[in-house]
Amino acid sequence: MHVRLLALAFAGTTLVVAPIAHAKGTIANLPTIETFTLANGLSVAVLHTDAAPVVAVQVWYHAGSKDEPRDRRGSAHMFEHMMFKGTAHVRAEFHAQSINGLGGYVNAATDEDATHYINTLPAEHLDYAIELEAERMRNLLFRKPMIDVEREVVKEEIRRQENSPITKGFLRFLGVAFTKHPYAWTAGGTISDLDATTPDDLKKFYDAYYQPNNAMLVVVGKVTAAQVKAAAEKWFGPIPKGADVPRPSKDAQEPAQTQKRKELAQPNQIGLVLVGFHLPAARDPEIYALQVASIVLGTGDSSRLKQRLEREDPKTKVRLAVQAGMESVVREEPGLTVALGAFFDPAAGDKIEAAIQDEIEKLAKTGPSADELRKAKNQVQSGFVFSLENAQGLAEAIGRSWILTGNPSAFLGDVDQIEKVTSADVQRVVKAYLAPDKATVVVIPPKPRTP
Amino acid sequence: MFVITSDKLPVVSMQLAIKAGRIQEPHARLGVSEFAADLLVKGTTRHDALAIAKQVDFVGGTLASESTFEATLVSCSVLARDRRMCLDLLPEIVTQPSFPQKELDAVRDKLIANARQRLEDAGVLASLHVQNLLWGNEHVRGWINSERTIGAVTRDDVVAWHKTWFVPANAMLVVTGDVDARKLKGDLERTFGAWKKGPVPPSPTFQAQGLSGSRIRLVDKPGQTQTHIRIAQFGIAHDDPRFFDTLVWNYVLGGGGFSSRLMRVVRVEGGKTYGATSSFDRNLDQGSFVASTFTRNSEAVSTTKLVLAEIARMAKAGPTQDEVDAAIANIAGGYGLRFQSAADLGGALIGAELHGFGREYLANFPLAVGKVDVTSAAQAAAAILDPRAYVIVMVGDAKDLEPQLKAEGWRYEKVAYTEPISPEVKEVAKPADPKAIAAMQQLVAEALVVKGGRAKLEALKGLKMSASGSTAVQGQNVPVEIERIFLIPDKIRIDATLTVPGGQKVPVIVSVLGQTGWQLGPNPKTGASQIVDIQKQDLGAIDFERWREPELILLKASAKDAKVTPLADEMIDGKANAVLLLASPYTGLDVKVYLDRKTKLVTRIGYTDGPVTNTDDFADYKTVGDLQIAHKRTQSAGGRITTLTVAKVELDPTVPDSAFAKPATP
């Protein structure tokens, strides 16, 4: 249920644990990612793989919900929808239908930092997929009737979240954790802001962010860099470079937290405690030790929090939580790491919070054991190798890496960086970042039960 | 056992399937397969849960087990350098689990948490309710777990379940990735060698109750601002010859994402929802066909009507040539995209083997899809989708939904979202309320008077009726002319002439005289006309046909010893109908009779024979002699529809016995 609860909590947005890791030739042979930039500023990354005759063609726009005006929450997401609604030369829905017609798969996703467009299709159609993506980069039409219909579609997506107490509780948690930074809201958006959004607002957003100098074309699959370069020059090349891109979040950095925050959310069938801490940004080297800390505490059935909370306490004979765990949400700007426990007994919430704090304190005091450290590193290595199986997943890792660090190949070095983490590093970052006075706690109480 | 080797990446995956899932669970032990699957990784005779978790976590592997409708799937994935972990641990958890009580209690809490949490998820509730409404409470597909059923499963149940089903002959294994096939054999002999052989017990079988007309269930979830909608009918089995046709028409209807009609009509044009899909089960037995969507409460009924209209349009006209081409291009063309890793292929192979298809199924899949054409897809859609018999579930706030349903004249049953979805097993069916039985008997008596009266019907010696209309033959509607003679009590002759495409007329005759009978029709192989005797075992069915004669059914229903059970009212063509269940002398063949509440005429007679539902609808009543006789008749037998307009009715015709005798030559 841990996964299920989290999936619910993050419904409609993308939950990203920082792209994990790379391994030396001893684990897997990894071809290099080739990158180049067109004259108009479009970045291109190509990774040749030949496991299957498939190509993943993705365009990553560096535009997420943190770039939205505060009274237009949901614009980035609305945009993701509008990108399928027709351009100067392609009628509405045709992009998806024609890729489907080639046996391909089409989708898109919006999160706090980026919006990306996904095409996975037989490798011989590379050129066509790039042509379609180039077309909608600058030729989108803003037709009011279409915007009005699509607004209703997005509102249904939001309504689905509003009917989920866990998602509502999680959104509340973000609002408490971020007092100033736009990570306080997710890409989901709000109905009132969407109703206020005009075609002009959307056009403004499009002109600001949907520009070649704010995007990366990522191609992974059975294609060569030369083929990709030719197609990119042909279709994206003629698009002129856009203006410099506004970053409203730069003026809205979250002030350092100096005392614990705790709030109660609306009840849910099952109680849930969320205990979160601010992380540094993805580019900060401390992020690796923090990731190891998060794994030691809450990844895998043998992790500390699962053992402490999901198993019967030998002394009290009480099992505090139905499910427990920890997730790190590493973002371009400082994100969050969250420990959580699900429970039945209304009195268990505070005890779970205390137990989580206790486990963090223990880790700060003595650090992980040699076994635990090795285990965490092995988990990162293995996760990385399995992520290489699939072209679409690899393209996501490259695009995400570019958004988070500015370097599409950065994720390939993550396994090495993780490998260098020592027990003392973990101790140091836990003390610095997971201190009790930096905690944000939100308790979603269980609904009272009638016998 | 299958081995797929690939050294592209240094990874190894093992996937083991045990043919034991929800379908084998005893009704009183609902959930036992889920308990067993979840507990496999929670302790063996050699390692406790923590020791297993540590081994798996230490190499960053995954070891997982889940129960599905028809199997328990156990899988293990690791880096190749750690392959020993999977080779040792997967056999150990499958063959030597210890099912510790403490772990069972923890698993029970998780399952209870899931059962409670789904109360917050209207979409999940809708999906569960629609299965229950479609399949009823006597079919495994209609049984939905609850906190009580989860609480009832004991360790003994789990141990017995494992002992019964987890035997080598009931399992299959696929190993994929960077492995040496020869070495692997020795390894597996060592690790699986001690697995005790045992017989595989037969799986239980179930008969669908069948549907006649539509049923709507409103699940009231106060405060919900969005209504989740499911529309379901019976689907097909995986080995049904129309499987690939169905893959194609369903892609066009609602399986094809933005390329589907439902998505276009409900989302793209209507803006009513984020998603609208349709799907059908891929199981050994007949599963369900379900269309799903959700929308704001105020649009719930209008959205349901849009979906129903699309289903009806697909049933009537099938997909277009362009749509079929696009569907085939996606399904067959994208087939390779699904198998990017060796483990993907392994999973697909297990799926094919579970259904007895063999490994060539995967290779032939794109070709089989490619063979589908407009005609075969349309025929399959027409035969499988019944625009008149379906169930609808809406989960939303009743205060917003009831006015819409009432305005539409749709009858519905209402339940609270917190109620268990299927009744407790031990609960004995409540005897019908004596008052309700008396009221139904009164209604039958009144209907008998409207029909023409007991005396007239009892005096009736026979009927001769001629009619014309159309009937479905191999999915196509063809014109038909029918003359039907029924001499009470036991002589029947039906002469039908079908006009097949091309204009050729095909005669079909069925004639029964007492306990013998014959029929004339085209030889299924040569097409030439032939006469065959009706076999003795088929005469039972004809006895039942004579018993349920529509003109006399009210006599049967008003007889002193008639067993009549009143059922909930149903709507037919927007009119309220009283429904009664009339017990017949034939086992398993009870008849539902529908009486229009206003006119008190019989509007429908239905019965279910195994998986097949048969209904006869009656309309356009006219006076013949002193009797009311329906002149519009629609027969639906297992989805095959015949519509007839009666031209002439003769009461008490004079027909010699010779008319029923078998002719010498066709």
pLDDT tens string A1-40: 222 222 223 222 222 222 223 333 345 566 689 999 999 9
pLDDT band at A450 (very low <50, low <70, confident <90, very high): low
CA atoms within 13 Å, Cβ hemisphere of B107: 27
Put simply, whether A314 touches B (Cβ < 8 Å) is no
Q: Identify the DSSP state of A188.
A: T
Q: Whose structure tokens read 């993050």?
A: A10
Chosen for mutation from A194, A220, A322 (greatest number of chain B CBs closer than 10 Å) is: A322
Q: Pick the more confident residue, B540 or A434.
A: A434
Nearest Cα of chain A lies from the Cα of B372 at a distance, in angstroms, of 16
Distances (CA, A) of A167 to A188, A211, A233, B112, B239: 11, 33, 43, 20, 41
> Contact at 8 Å (CB) between A368 and A299?
no
pLDDT average, residue stretch A65-76: 93
In this prediction, residue A18 carries a pLDDT of: 27
Angle, helices B243-250/B360-370, rounded to nearest 10 degrees: 60
Q: Pick the more confident residue, B567 or B160.
A: B160
In this prediction, residue B537 carries a pLDDT of: 65
In this prediction, residue B429 carries a pLDDT of: 42
In this prediction, residue B472 carries a pLDDT of: 72
Tokens found for residue B481: 């002319």
In this prediction, residue A19 carries a pLDDT of: 27
In this prediction, residue B573 carries a pLDDT of: 74
Nearest Cα of chain B lies from the Cα of A259 at a distance, in angstroms, of 33
Distances (CA, A) of B487 to A312, B451, B494, B519, B520: 77, 19, 12, 18, 20
User: Which residues from chain A sit within 8 angstroms of residue B326, using beta carbons?
Assistant: 97, 100-101
Phi and psi, residue B625, nearest 5°? 60, -125
Q: How far apart are CA A332 and CA A406, in angstroms?
A: 9
- The percent of residues in chain B predicted with pLDDT above 90, rounded, is 54
Question: How many pairs of residues across A and B have Cβ atoms under 8 Å apart?
Answer: 193
CB pair distance less than 8 Å for A164 and B269? no
- Domain boundaries along the sequence of chain A: 31-250, 261-444
In this prediction, residue B432 carries a pLDDT of: 65
CB pair distance less than 8 Å for B258 and A93? yes
- The end-to-end CA distance of chain A, in Å, is 24
| Mode of pairing for the β-strands spanning B215-220 and B391-396 | parallel
Cis peptide before B434 (omega within 30 of 0): no
Put simply, whether B296 touches A (Cβ < 8 Å) is yes
β-bridge partners, B496: B482, B508
CB pair distance less than 8 Å for B329 and A269? no
The topology under which CATH files domain B434-660 is outer membrane lipoprotein receptor (LolB), chain A (2.50.20)
CB pair distance less than 8 Å for A96 and B257? yes
Chosen for mutation from B117, B150, B228 (greatest number of chain A CBs closer than 10 Å) is: B117
In this prediction, residue A2 carries a pLDDT of: 27
Residues 224-283 of chain A with CB under 8 A from chain B are: 268-270
| Mode of pairing for the β-strands spanning A440-444 and A271-278 | antiparallel
Tokens found for residue B76: 């293990």
Put simply, whether B120 touches A (Cβ < 8 Å) is yes
pLDDT by residue (tens digit) across A356-381? Answer: 999 999 999 999 999 999 999 999 99
pLDDT by residue (tens digit) across A215-232? Answer: 999 999 999 999 999 999
In this prediction, residue A305 carries a pLDDT of: 97
Nearest Cα of chain A lies from the Cα of B490 at a distance, in angstroms, of 59
User: Chain A: residue nearest B111 by CA?
Assistant: A1
The secondary element (H helix, E strand) that includes residue B133 is helix B122-135
Q: Which of A67-71, A191-195, A382-386, A442-446 has the lowest mean pLDDT?
A: A382-386
Helix (H, G, I), strand (E, B) or coil at A154: helix
CA atoms within 13 Å, Cβ hemisphere of A222: 12
Write down the CATH number for the domain with range B2-121+143-192.
Answer: 3.30.830.10
Put simply, whether A159 touches B (Cβ < 8 Å) is yes
Among B532, B560, B556, B531, which Cα is nearest to B544's?
B556
β-bridge partners, B518: B511, B533
Put simply, whether A207 touches B (Cβ < 8 Å) is no
Nearest Cα of chain A lies from the Cα of B542 at a distance, in angstroms, of 51
Q: How far apart are CA B335 and CA B331, in angstroms?
A: 6
Nearest Cα of chain B lies from the Cα of A323 at a distance, in angstroms, of 7
pLDDT average, residue stretch A145-154: 89
Q: How far apart are CA A186 and CA A113, in angstroms?
A: 10
The topology under which CATH files domain A31-250 is Cytochrome Bc1 Complex; Chain A, domain 1 (3.30.830)
Tokens found for residue B63: 């070891």
Put simply, whether B321 touches A (Cβ < 8 Å) is no
A420: left (phi over 0), alpha (psi -120 to 50) or beta: alpha
pLDDT by residue (tens digit) across B36-92? Answer: 999 999 999 999 999 999 999 999 999 999 999 999 999 999 999 999 999 999 999
Q: How far apart are CA B539 and CA B545, in angstroms?
A: 10
Q: Which of B218-227, B324-333, B421-430, B436-445 has the lowest mean pLDDT?
A: B421-430
CB pair distance less than 8 Å for A103 and B11? no
pLDDT average, residue stretch A232-241: 97
CB pair distance less than 8 Å for A156 and B273? yes
Of A84, A268, A388, the CB nearest to B9: A388
Q: How many CB atoms lie within 10 A of CB B661?
A: 12
User: Chain A: residue nearest B270 by CA?
Assistant: A149
Residues whose CB is less than 8 angstroms from the CB of residue B229 and which lie 6 or more positions away in sequence, other chains included: B126, B292, B293, B294, B295, B300, B303, B304, B307, B392, B393, B394
In this prediction, residue A31 carries a pLDDT of: 67
Tokens found for residue B419: 């109620």
User: Chain A: residue nearest B120 by CA?
Assistant: A164
User: Which residues from chain B sit within 8 angstroms of residue A93, using beta carbons?
Assistant: 258, 264, 268
Q: Burial, B402: exposed, middle or buried (Cβ in 10 Å; 0-12, 13-18, 19+)? A: middle
In this prediction, residue B639 carries a pLDDT of: 56
Put simply, whether A386 touches B (Cβ < 8 Å) is yes
pLDDT band at A432 (very low <50, low <70, confident <90, very high): very high
pLDDT by residue (tens digit) across B448-498? Answer: 999 999 888 888 899 999 999 988 766 577 888 999 999 888 888 989 888
B3: left (phi over 0), alpha (psi -120 to 50) or beta: beta
In this prediction, residue A23 carries a pLDDT of: 34
| Mode of pairing for the β-strands spanning B276-280 and B171-177 | unpaired
Put simply, whether A16 touches B (Cβ < 8 Å) is no
> Contact at 8 Å (CB) between A78 and A32?
no
pLDDT by residue (tens digit) across B359-404? Answer: 888 889 999 999 999 999 999 999 999 878 899 999 999 999 999 9
Q: Pick the more confident residue, B519 or A337.
A: A337
- The percent of residues in chain B predicted with pLDDT above 70, rounded, is 96
β-bridge partners, A219: A46, A57
In this prediction, residue A336 carries a pLDDT of: 96
Angle, helices B321-333/A94-101, rounded to nearest 10 degrees: 60
Nearest Cα of chain B lies from the Cα of A270 at a distance, in angstroms, of 6
Tokens found for residue A27: 């684990």
Q: How far apart are CA A105 and CA A83, in angstroms?
A: 16
Among A236, A227, A62, which Cα is nearest to A134's?
A236
In this prediction, residue B346 carries a pLDDT of: 87
Chosen for mutation from A83, A95, A154, A301 (greatest number of chain B CBs closer than 10 Å) is: A301
Say if B2-121+143-192 and B215-416 have the same CATH topology.
yes
Q: How far is CA B429 from the centre of its chain?
A: 24
- The percent of residues in chain A predicted with pLDDT above 90, rounded, is 79
Put simply, whether B116 touches A (Cβ < 8 Å) is yes
pLDDT band at A66 (very low <50, low <70, confident <90, very high): very high
Of A103, A312, A319, the CB nearest to B333: A103
Put simply, whether B329 touches A (Cβ < 8 Å) is yes
Phi and psi, residue A442, nearest 5°? -125, 130
Q: Which of A104-108, A447-451, B437-441 has the lowest mean pLDDT?
A: A447-451
The secondary element (H helix, E strand) that includes residue B394 is strand B391-396
Residues whose CB is less than 8 angstroms from the CB of residue B598 and which lie 6 or more positions away in sequence, other chains included: B575, B576
Using the predicted structure, report yes or no on whether residue B608 has a pLDDT greater than 80.
no
Angle (nearest 5°) at CA B49 between B47 and B50: 95
Q: Pick the more confident residue, B659 or B17.
A: B17
A393: left (phi over 0), alpha (psi -120 to 50) or beta: alpha
> Contact at 8 Å (CB) between B34 and B67?
yes
Q: How far apart are CA A401 and CA B604, in angstroms?
A: 65
Using the predicted structure, report yes or no on whether residue B555 has a pLDDT greater than 80.
yes
Using the predicted structure, report yes or no on whether residue A137 has a pLDDT greater than 90.
yes
Among A328, A336, A335, A326, which Cα is nearest to A273's?
A326
Question: What average pLDDT does the structure give for chain B?
Answer: 89
Q: How far apart are CA A68 and CA A70, in angstroms?
A: 6
| Mode of pairing for the β-strands spanning B226-234 and B391-396 | antiparallel
| Mode of pairing for the β-strands spanning B462-473 and B476-487 | antiparallel
Put simply, whether B49 touches A (Cβ < 8 Å) is yes
Q: Given CATH 3.30.830.10, say whether it is the number of domain A261-444.
A: yes
Q: How many CB atoms lie within 10 A of CB B566?
A: 19
In this prediction, residue B306 carries a pLDDT of: 94
Q: How far apart are CA B597 and CA B428, in angstroms?
A: 30
Put simply, whether B121 touches A (Cβ < 8 Å) is yes
Put simply, whether B58 touches A (Cβ < 8 Å) is yes
pLDDT average, residue stretch B238-250: 95
Q: Identify the DSSP state of B433.
A: P
In this prediction, residue B438 carries a pLDDT of: 87
Using the predicted structure, report yes or no on whether residue B427 has a pLDDT greater than 50.
no
Put simply, whether A311 touches B (Cβ < 8 Å) is yes
Angle (nearest 5°) at CA B601 between B598 and B605: 120
pLDDT average, residue stretch A309-322: 89
Using the predicted structure, report yes or no on whether residue B412 has a pLDDT greater than 80.
yes
pLDDT average, residue stretch A387-398: 89
- Domain boundaries along the sequence of chain B: 2-121+143-192, 215-416, 434-660
pLDDT average, residue stretch A263-276: 95
Chosen for mutation from B42, B48, B58 (greatest number of chain A CBs closer than 10 Å) is: B58
pLDDT average, residue stretch A63-77: 93
Helices (H), A260-341: 287-298, 304-310
In this prediction, residue A315 carries a pLDDT of: 84
**What are the strands of the beta sheet with B171-177, ordered from one edge?**
B2-5, B171-177, B11-18, B72-79, B62-67
Nearest Cα of chain B lies from the Cα of A300 at a distance, in angstroms, of 6
Using the predicted structure, report yes or no on whether residue A265 has a pLDDT greater than 60.
yes
Q: Which of A351-360, A394-403, B253-262, B632-641 has the lowest mean pLDDT?
A: B632-641
User: Chain A: residue nearest B342 by CA?
Assistant: A389
Q: Which of A155-164, B190-199, B327-336, B429-438 has the lowest mean pLDDT?
A: B429-438
Put simply, whether B416 touches A (Cβ < 8 Å) is no
In this prediction, residue A63 carries a pLDDT of: 96
Q: How far apart are CA B344 and CA B353, in angstroms?
A: 14
Using the predicted structure, report yes or no on whether residue B3 has a pLDDT greater than 90.
no
Among B644, B563, B70, which Cα is nearest to B353's?
B70
Q: Burial, B540: exposed, middle or buried (Cβ in 10 Å; 0-12, 13-18, 19+)? A: exposed
Domain B215-416 is classified in which CATH homologous superfamily? Metalloenzyme, LuxS/M16 peptidase-like (3.30.830.10)
